[in-house]
Structure 1
């Protein structure tokens, strides 16, 4: 079993976090070229709406219950990390307050048992947050947020040799926390840096009966650009 404490997490998370930004840098360059084409007239006045396009790196917590009947210790079922795009729509209903809806398309993840791939599944994780913007008129505009995540699980294809096919719950409801900042580049145009922690979990089923539970509980680090209008 994994020992508790900060050190094991830091050694595992930080290299994965840093390496994620190599492909993210390329994605940001593509996003930037698209947003440059937005007409200047649409950026001249900051309105109540903001759309951000981001490249996001998902780093899973890799937590799972032990399966005594199969001789599987805790935390041996893992879910692959992922880099993918997301789009969010924010509505500023007060100077310091906004709601943010984060959207993407279904993402496929590999599932491993003791380091060996046993299948895959897809998840669709729309998230709704309430944000407080500390410096809404500043060059750098930090914010904090909290909300709820609904994860829909589909296309489950997982099987263990000499055991049979496994299934996952079809949905998960959890909480989300967020810190980030919008950095003003031009009128109405922003660089966005964002970090979220989301609770996502699912029971693991064998012949319809729960045999374990997996906690994906990912960190979501993203970088992108936004337009406010």
Structure 2
């Protein structure tokens, strides 16, 4: 009787075990989330200090595991839109897309929490620049290449799904031109805070 009871208890424990989101070679992850981008304090240019306000936008990630616990991830998003300030005064706005490719490592364990770290490269495409309070002068921001760092944690809610919280630091520095005159580089280099639902295929 004791032997049967022990087996029954073991079976019950097995059925109630917490889900674990394992990462194996050949797996794919898709994440749907919401990201907040918080730019750097800005840069001094020929016309004064230029900085950008924070922005919120939907994000999507796709990741393919080239080995157990090692994945290659591509981050994409709906365009982020920023107000631009010169010496504290509103001078216009811009939109940008920040696709980022990262190599990531997952610290797989037996718990529901799986932390990970990554590093990669970012390309930022600026577009739809508009000016205000500059007498009609045009604004142009060059596209940017830079390094990106990434860290986060997945909380498994099933064998295929997890909730994710992560943060990135992206090196974004763009050359700015106002009215056809180069005014210098603007260091945006933001922290990007993201929450998402990820599912494994």
TM-score (norm 1): 0.72
Q: CA separation in 2, counterparts of 1:86 and 1:216?
A: 19
Query: Do residues 57 (structure 1) and 36 (structure 2) align?
Result: yes
1:9-56 superposed Cα distances (whole Å, 9 cap, x missing partner): xxxxxxxxxxxxxxxxxxxxxxxxxxxxxxxxxx9x986011111111
Q: CA separation in 1, counterparts of 2:199 and 2:134?
A: 50
2:45 maps to what in 1? 66
Q: CA separation in 2, counterparts of 1:166 and 1:48?
A: 44
Q: CA separation in 1, counterparts of 2:163 and 2:98?
A: 23
Paired residues, what number?
179
Q: What is the CA RMSD across the aligned residues, in angstroms?
A: 2.1
Which runs of 5 or more residues in structure 2 are unaligned?
Answer: 1-20
Instruction: State which of 197, 206, 211 in structure 1 corresponds to 2:183.
Output: 211
Bigger mean CA deviation after superposition, 85-94 or 104-113: 104-113
1:20 maps to what in 2? none
**How many Å apart are 1:136 and its aligned residue?**
5.9
1:199 maps to what in 2? 171
**How many Å apart are 1:137 and its aligned residue?**
5.6
Larger helix fraction of residues? 1
Are the counterparts in 2 of residues 158 and 167 from structure 1 also a CA contact under 8 Å? Answer: no
Query: Do residues 48 (structure 1) and 23 (structure 2) align?
Result: no
Q: CA separation in 1, counterparts of 2:178 and 2:84?
A: 15
Q: CA separation in 2, counterparts of 1:197 and 1:82?
A: 15
Q: CA separation in 2, counterparts of 1:136 and 1:176?
A: 26
Bigger Rg, which one: 2
Which runs of 5 or more residues in structure 1 are unaligned?
Answer: 1-42
Are the counterparts in 1 of residues 45 and 186 from structure 2 also a CA contact under 8 Å? Answer: no
1:186 maps to what in 2? 158
1:69-127 superposed Cα distances (whole Å, 9 cap, x missing partner): x4x2xxx2111101111010111121120011011122221111122211111101111
**SS of alignment partner, residue 145 of structure 1:** strand
Q: CA separation in 1, counterparts of 2:178 and 2:51?
A: 17
Alignment of 1:19-30 (within 5 A): none
**How many Å apart are 1:62 and its aligned residue?**
2.5
2:124 maps to what in 1? 151
Q: CA separation in 1, counterparts of 2:167 and 2:147?
A: 14
Runs of 4+ in structure 1 over 4 Å off: none
TM-score (norm 2): 0.81
Alignment of 1:78-227 (within 5 A): 78-135=51-108, 138-158=111-131, 161=134, 164-169=137-142, 171-227=143-199
Q: CA separation in 1, counterparts of 2:67 and 2:186?
A: 39
Distance change in 2, residues 1:89/1:137 (3 Å): farther
